[in-house]
Amino acid sequence: MIYLDHAATSPPLPGVVEAMAPWLRVPANPASAHGAGQRAAAALQHAREQVAALLRRPAEGIVFTSGATEANHQGIRGWAVGGARRVWASPLEHPCVHGAIEAAGLRRIPLAVDSAGRVVLPDPDAPARLGGAGEPDRLDEPGGSGGLLCLMAVNHETGVIQPLGAARALAARHGLRLHVDAAQALGRGPVPALAGADSVVISAHKLGGPVGIGALSLLSGAPFPALLPGGSQERGRRGGTVPVALAVGFGAAAAQAEAEAEARSARYQGLAEPLRRGLVALGARLVGEAAERSPTHTCVVFDGVPGEALVQALDLEGIAVSSGAACASGSLEPSPVLVAMGDPHPEGALRVSLGPGSTAGEIERLLAVLPRILEGVRLALELQGG
């Protein structure tokens, strides 16, 4: 199989599997006082430091979770319990962020999105309204501060890099907490500047670590309630025994991502350029072409051709790609991300995402079979319509 859906999940790297293996065979409860427990605690702390080093944030602020979904829920709920009542977020955010906002009971104020797939933020120094027409909330009005600003670092469907610098300035100017979902931004090249964010979410399996673990990174000393109370683990911020084997694998993946950041970026650029040229030559329209994008994510639309039909046809050829977010795969609804961008054919999205194992030969194979697949899908659509 040719696997080109690394934005959904990336298989564990060999070094990750090797690092995890010993911890799958021994007792490893880091809360235990005996020697085995203390060895597990030391391994857990080392993994915490490796994840923190990748993020360039304090190790004591790393809270291990079951993944990015839980981390987003814990982060957003935590700020709500801490006093935030309103949250500014765009339609581009991952569905788990929208779900967390709703579950926390926050009033969501929408941020605008431009046609290139970037969140539009106002000048932090100008009195400005955050939200759509008719929205009464202004950051310069009394009581306008103290809310939460949610912004993903890299969009999961389009790969468009979002304006974190402008978000930090806006949050600092108006007293907002900044929550960043960085699940799609790490392990793919240079690490984005995350130092100014109040909370950051990361997922292990998106960067070649194991499935089932992620982290919420908080600034040192931030008061935060546990989403899962009932234990003193993770400094009282997340009850339950931390899976040491998964954490060790997470740490190994983070360390490798940090060490290989520049090399990965150059390699992915070298693969993305011929991929995008080849897709355009076949009649595809690049989504987010006017914006800066991650080299690992390529989202295109073949106008008039449903993305799901292409995904299914490519799967029969042994090529795994996606029509959007994995959590929404198979949905009959068009991509909410492309809808927010005003794309005229949001149902036609096709996402090709690269990972550590991707090769030039795989790209060539995809481009070689696509003309025949496009012809077949279009013919089937004509027969259905006529």
Which member of 96, 150, 299, 327 is catalytic? 327
Arithmetic mean of pLDDT, 44-71: 97
Arithmetic mean of pLDDT, 10-24: 98
Q: What is the structure's pLDDT at 266?
A: 96
Q: What is the structure's pLDDT at 223?
A: 67
Arithmetic mean of pLDDT, 258-283: 97
Q: Residues of the chain with pLDDT > 90: what percent?
A: 77
Q: What is the structure's pLDDT at 193?
A: 85
Q: Is the pLDDT of residue 309 over 80?
A: yes
Q: Does 327 participate in catalysis according to the annotation?
A: yes
Q: Is the pLDDT of residue 326 over 60?
A: no
Arithmetic mean of pLDDT, 324-349: 80
Residues 6 or more apart in contact with residue 115 via CB below 8 angstroms: 290, 341, 342
Residues 6 or more apart in contact with residue 1 via CB below 8 angstroms: 318, 319, 320
**From the CA atom positions of the chain, what is the Rg in Å?**
22
Q: Is the pLDDT of residue 356 over 70?
A: yes
Residues 265, 268, 274, 278, Cα dihedral to 10°: -130
| pLDDT, tens digit, 9 for 90 and up, residues 141-195 | 444 447 999 999 999 999 999 999 999 999 998 889 999 999 999 998 888 889 8
Sheet strands (E) in the chain? 2-3, 62-65, 86-89, 107-110, 112-113, 119-120, 148-152, 177-181, 199-203, 214-218, 285-286, 297-301, 319-320, 349-353
Mean pLDDT of the chain: 91
Considering only residues 107 and 126, tell me which one the structure prediction assigns the higher pLDDT: 107
Residue 44, token pair as written in the block: 């857990």
Q: What is the structure's pLDDT at 137?
A: 54
Alpha helices in 64-214 (DSSP H): 68-81, 95-104, 164-174
Alpha helices in the chain (DSSP H): 14-20, 35-55, 68-81, 95-104, 164-174, 244-259, 261-281, 307-316, 336-341, 360-385
Distances (CA, A) of 105 to 41, 100, 226: 36, 9, 17
| pLDDT, tens digit, 9 for 90 and up, residues 288-305 | 999 999 999 999 999 999
- 3-state SS, residue 112: strand
d(CA 247, CA 234): 12
Q: Is the pLDDT of residue 91 over 60?
A: yes
- Averaging pLDDT over each range in 118-127, 293-302, 322-331, which range is the top one? 293-302
Q: What is the structure's pLDDT at 129?
A: 55
Between β-strands 285-286 and 62-65, what pairing exists: parallel, antiparallel or unpaired? unpaired
Considering only residues 133 and 319, tell me which one the structure prediction assigns the higher pLDDT: 319
Q: What are the structural domains, with CATH classification, of the chain?
A: 14-259 (3.40.640.10), 261-385 (3.90.1150.10)
Considering only residues 249 and 136, tell me which one the structure prediction assigns the higher pLDDT: 249
